[in-house]
Amino acid sequence: MIWGDDADPVKRWRAEMDQLDRERTEAKEQMKRSEECRERDVARAGAREEISELRDNVKTLFDLLRDITDATNQTFTTLANEASARREDIADLKLQIARLSASPEAKRAFQFAREKSDGEIVDLPDFIRKMH
Task: Tell me whether residue 132 is in a domain.
Answer: no
3-class SS at 29? helix
Task: Tell me whether residue 127 is in a domain.
Answer: no
pLDDT of res. 1: 52
The secondary structure element, H or E, covering residue 113 is: none
Model pLDDT for residues 23-66, shown as the tens digit of each residue: 999 999 999 999 999 999 999 999 999 999 999 999 999 999 99
Lowest mean pLDDT of 5-19, 60-74, 75-89, name the range.
5-19
Query: Quick one: CA torsion of 46, 47, 48, 52, rounded to 10 degrees?
Result: 100
For residue 99, name the pLDDT band (cuts at 50, 70, 90). Answer: confident
pLDDT of res. 8: 85
pLDDT of res. 9: 87
Task: Tell me whether residue 80 is in a domain.
Answer: yes
Task: Tell me whether residue 72 is in a domain.
Answer: yes
Size of the chain, expressed as the number of residues it contains: 132
Q: How many domains does the chain have?
A: 1
Task: Tell me whether residue 14 is in a domain.
Answer: yes
Task: Tell me whether residue 43 is in a domain.
Answer: yes
For 79, the domain range is 9-106
The CA distances from residue 128 to 121, 122, 124, in Å, are 20, 18, 12
Query: Cβ(23)–Cβ(16) under 8 Å?
Result: no
The count of C-alpha atoms lying within 13 angstroms of the C-alpha of 64, restricted to the half-sphere facing its C-beta, is 6
Sign of CA dihedral 89, 91, 94, 100: negative
